[in-house]
């Protein structure tokens, strides 16, 4: 049985050992799995627009292939992603968090392109884990609004960590990082990670 645990600092340490293109590829892999969550949110609440998110990802894939991305373009793409990020106070959907995190994770990769700070890629991976954390809690509670606010005990935390969806995401991130170390030829890996990619919460 899988028994993975997430630690953002450890993820950042592993990312620091990769070349810049490898870091970006890992971040994009996380983002591709999260974009479907935004699309599902939009379908449910009839609000939102995934096109700016898809456009930003396409520009980042092009950048990975060697196309320059200047600061002005990166800032414009970030602004477009932030514009379509939902406000959690405006929606009762359990998908509002995953939709937000899809937007913010893409912004993290764009931040990295400007700053070169591996912490931004690690934050994108953390957003993917946050998505699972919140969604698995909803699964455990049967999506009941009455159950929200249940104390986050160590026992509950462990149940979330060991849930098959969480373990799958943790295993995927671990596998991606290992592949980037053992196979630095990104051309052979991109087909595994580019859209369409299965949602990390099975949507």
| pLDDT at site 114 | 95
- The beta-strand segments (E) located in 11-163 are none
| pLDDT at site 178 | 93
Which residue positions in the chain have pLDDT lower than 50?
Answer: none
Please answer whether residues 138 and 159 qualify as being in contact, where contact means their C-beta atoms are separated by less than 8 angstroms: no
| pLDDT at site 33 | 93
Domains of the chain, each with CATH number or no CATH: 8-189 (1.20.1590.10)
| pLDDT at site 143 | 67
The radius of gyration of the chain's CA atoms, rounded to the nearest angstrom, is 17
Predicted confidence (pLDDT) per residue in 121-172, tens digit: 999 999 999 999 999 999 988 766 555 666 778 898 999 999 999 999 999 9
Please answer whether residues 42 and 49 qualify as being in contact, where contact means their C-beta atoms are separated by less than 8 angstroms: yes
């Amino acid at each position: 049985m899988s028994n993975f645990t997430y630690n953002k600092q450890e993820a950042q340490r592993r990312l620091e050992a990769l070349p810049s293109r490898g870091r970006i590829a890992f971040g994009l892999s996380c983002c591709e799995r999260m974009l479907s969550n935004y699309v599902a949110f939009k379908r449910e609440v009839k609000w939102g627009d995934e096109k700016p998110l898809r456009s930003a990802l396409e520009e980042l894939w092009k950048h990975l292939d060697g196309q320059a991305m200047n600061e002005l373009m990166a800032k414009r793409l970030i602004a477009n992603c932030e514009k379509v990020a939902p406000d959690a106070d405006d929606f009762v959907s359990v998908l509002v968090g995953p939709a937000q995190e899809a937007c913010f994770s893409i912004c993290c990769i764009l931040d990295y392109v400007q700053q070169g700070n591996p912490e931004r890629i690690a934050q994108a991976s953390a957003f993917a884990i946050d998505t699972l954390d919140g969604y698995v809690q909803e699964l455990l509670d049967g999506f009941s609004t009455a159950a929200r606010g249940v104390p986050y005990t160590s026992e509950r935390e462990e149940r979330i960590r060991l849930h098959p969806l969480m373990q799958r995401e943790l295993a995927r991130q671990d596998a991606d990082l290992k592949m980037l170390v053992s196979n630095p030829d990104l051309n052979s890996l991109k087909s595994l990670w580019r859209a369409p990619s299965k949602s990390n919460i099975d949507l």
